[in-house]
């Protein structure tokens, strides 16, 4: 059985992990006979957003604790992730990837990526372990792996595609139910909710194809 590390960035698309993307990823991994191990950094979120009103709240939440909601408590600190025990890693999207695992949401291509995540991504490249990247995650991956010229997709958003290009990545327009495969770096990406109006069924197709390819390349 293959072991796939799933890295989350909180709980909720405006300030953490996109819940539907995370759950569809876990479902696809399980359906295809692999095992998911879930990780998140033990850090505070950049901020907390009320998902009903869209307004910022005056409170503090922890990324690991919030991610545990999706993981049903079965989660590990990102510092404990050992790629030698995993066959691949996958990063679902959500603004938390661009706010908590990096500051891409605020500083664009001039932003920085979480140092532990950067080390993990670089090790994955060195060990030839596949990386699945969903939604905004491909752009964040380019913050850590730009020198590798990752070939990725975030859909068709020109601003984010431009940021990817400025970081050294190569962007390809894809629909929500499609994937982009970087055979050289073993990075598989799909746009998911980078298309705000995409149907959950199209997103499920894209994520399932992403997971399928990750497992094939693992």
Structural domains in the chain, sorted by start: 3-217 (3.40.50.880)
Which tokens sit at 18? Answer: 């996109």
CA–CA–CA angle 59, 40, 180 (5° rounding): 115
> In a structure prediction context, what are the per-residue pLDDT tens digits for the chain, which is 218 residues long?
999 999 999 999 999 999 999 999 999 999 999 999 999 999 999 999 999 999 999 999 999 999 999 999 999 999 999 999 999 999 999 999 999 999 999 999 999 999 999 999 999 999 999 999 999 999 999 999 999 999 999 999 999 999 999 999 999 999 999 999 999 999 999 999 999 999 999 999 999 999 999 999 99
What pLDDT shows up at residue 149?
A: 97
Selecting among 11, 135, 142, 210, the annotated active-site residue is 135
Nearest-angstrom CA–CA distance, 40 and 151: 25
Determine whether 11 is an active site residue.
no
Reported as a single tens digit per residue, the pLDDT across 156-208 is 999 999 999 999 999 999 999 999 999 999 999 999 999 999 999 999 999 99
Nearest-angstrom CA–CA distance, 135 and 70: 18
pTM assigned to the model? 0.97
């Amino acid at each position: 059985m293959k072991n796939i590390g799933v890295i989350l960035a909180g709980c909720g698309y405006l300030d953490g992990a996109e819940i539907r993307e995370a759950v569809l990823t876990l479902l696809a991994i399980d359906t295809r006979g692999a095992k998911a191990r879930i990780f998140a950094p033990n850090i505070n979120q950049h901020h907390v957003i009320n998902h009903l009103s869209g307004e910022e709240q005056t409170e503090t939440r922890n990324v690991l604790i919030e991610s545990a909601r999706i993981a049903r408590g079965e989660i590990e600190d990102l510092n404990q992730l050992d790629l030698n025990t995993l066959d691949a890693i996958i990063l679902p999207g959500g603004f938390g990837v661009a706010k908590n695992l990096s500051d891409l949401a605020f500083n664009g291509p001039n932003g920085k990526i979480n140092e532990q995540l950067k080390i993990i991504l670089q090790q994955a490249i060195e060990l030839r372990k596949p990386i699945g990247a969903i939604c905004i995650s491909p752009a964040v991956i380019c913050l850590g792996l730009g020198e590798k010229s990752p070939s990725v997709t975030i859909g068709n958003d020109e601003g984010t595609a431009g940021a990817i290009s400025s970081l050294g990545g190569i962007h390809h327009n894809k629909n929500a139910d499609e994937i982009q495969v970087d055979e050289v770096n073993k990075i598989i990406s799909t746009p998911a909710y980078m298309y705000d109006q995409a149907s959950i069924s199209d997103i499920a197709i894209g994520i399932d194809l992403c997971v399928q390819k990750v497992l094939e390349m693992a």
